[in-house]
Amino acid sequence: MSPGSRTHAGGIQPSASFFRPVRPVYHPPSIESANQHVYNLGPLSNGSEEPLTSVENHTTENEDTKQRPRPSREPLLPLVSRPSLSRPSASSSSRLVRNSLERVFSLRRGLSVDSLHKARSPREGEEHGMFDLPSASGYNKSTAAEYSEHITPSASPAPSFMPPLKEAGPPRCAKPIIDPKTQKPLRNYQLHPSRNHFFFGGRLLTGGDSPWAFLGTLFLLFGLTGTWFGTTAVYWWHHVSPAVAAVGVYLALITISSMLATATRDPGILPRDIDPDPPFPTTSPSDGGMRAPMPRDLKVRADVVRVKYCPTCKTYRPPRSSHCKMCDNCVDGCDHHCQWVNNCIGRRNYTTFFVLLFSATTTLVLVIVTSAIHLYLLVHWNHLAFKDALRHGAGSAVVFSVGILVIWPVAALLSYHMRLLLLNVTTIEQIRNQAHKSLVPGPAPPNPFSHGSWRRNLLAVLCRPVGYSWLDAGGEATRDEREINPGLVEG
């Protein structure tokens, strides 16, 4: 592209220096600028300094040789006059470096950019370069005060570009609620409006149902296992094999621990007051009743699941959740409320509940089989009559009878939940499907939560993590003290 060709249609043609940049030429310093003792940063050369040629020399050489000048490696600089290009002395170089470092450290310690520009701006009647420093001969108190104010780190004022310090204490969006009696922060469980009972600072909880069924089940469990350990396990330890007693201890510990974990763990209580102002339909119902908040439809895989609004908890329940009337809570993944453990069975304790059923059934089978074998060995090995064997092995006879009575409901409940587990269906969903079949002919709607095979369903339910508690009963209760934006207030 030649310099004479146009680059813009109807625009201004650039100069020739735009297409063929040349090395910038600086004029020698004048006498007036030399008397001002202004120090400038110039390029340093290892050997002898190369003389600089003027624009006229370049023009004459180009016309004589008819060759294109060699392009410069230096960046294009504006053609402004520089006072000096001579190498600065050692004192001026050290002073230049020192002042540059002072400026850098002043910026680090809070020097404002505006003050730096103000200090660097030239005074009237003077022309300075980008790296010019005040002259030593022109020293006066005003100049010293100005540079000590803007450059000296110790005398730098408060930074203008730094944000103000935040107020100490918790933010206004999470102010702790203080108990007026004890002057201590309240916990979430102390303000939670439900029928649950909390213990040990909110770490443990029980349901709002009567605790007698749970206490009776716990007494039966301890009584049955204690009797078996005192009679049958002792006989097996001394006469047959200690491994049977060890297995019995292991199963009993699993059953007791899983029962306590199911009864005292948060099943997945959902937070309240998330949707205090739900949308309502524009028209009233035809029967004259109160308007109910509109439901929401959520897409789960290829199907659509409708979720409803809970007026008690003032929130939209997520899929597979339900409000428990016994505990007065919305529970995530609610399966049912079990009175035998006095707690809801939800997403966070369903795994321990299933382990409780499985270990209890296995323990009952072990108790029944070992107690029956104990009575059989007393009759055949010790040659005792059956009545005498019952008298010598009274503990085995008792645990055998109680085990036969208890194993049937426990095994039936285990088989029922095994079927639900393989289908990935909750107890409430199973009841709804049965009601749907009785009201609407035809097959029940497909389950959108199934993973396609019983193996995947089994792993998805039993191997999922417990997750965090939505309630956080032991955490500090907070409230939002932020003021409403006046621009959002109507009227």
Catalytic positions, please? 338
Tell me the β-bridge partners of 84: none
* 101-106, Cβ contacts within 8 angstroms, sequence gap of 24 or more: 102/151, 102/152, 102/153, 103/151, 105/153, 106/150, 106/151, 106/152, 106/153, 106/156
Using CA atoms, how far apart are residues 195 and 302, in angstroms rounded to an integer?
38
Q: Calculate the alpha carbon distances from 188 to 173, 202, 237, 332, 471 in Å.
A: 16, 8, 50, 18, 7
Report the C-alpha dihedral over residues 429, 431, 435, 440, rounded to 10 degrees: 40
DSSP secondary structure letter of residue 476 = B
The count of C-alpha atoms lying within 13 angstroms of the C-alpha of 116, restricted to the half-sphere facing its C-beta, is: 21
Please report the sign of the dihedral spanned by the C-alpha atoms of residue 283, residue 287, residue 292, residue 298.
negative
Q: Residue 4: phi, psi to the nearest 5?
A: -85, -10
Three-class SS state of 322: strand
CB distance 26 to 85 below 8 Å:
yes
Using CA atoms, how far apart are residues 393 and 283, in angstroms rounded to an integer?
75
Pairing relation of β-strands 175-176 and 322-324?
unpaired
Instruction: Pick the closest to residue 114 from 154, 145, 159 (CA basis).
Output: 159
Give the DSSP letter string of 412-454: HHHHHHHHHHHHT--HHHHHHHHHHHHHS-SPPPP-TT--SSH
Using CA atoms, how far apart are residues 411 and 418, in angstroms rounded to an integer?
10
* Residue 252 structure tokens: 């009993």
* Residue 378 structure tokens: 């007393």
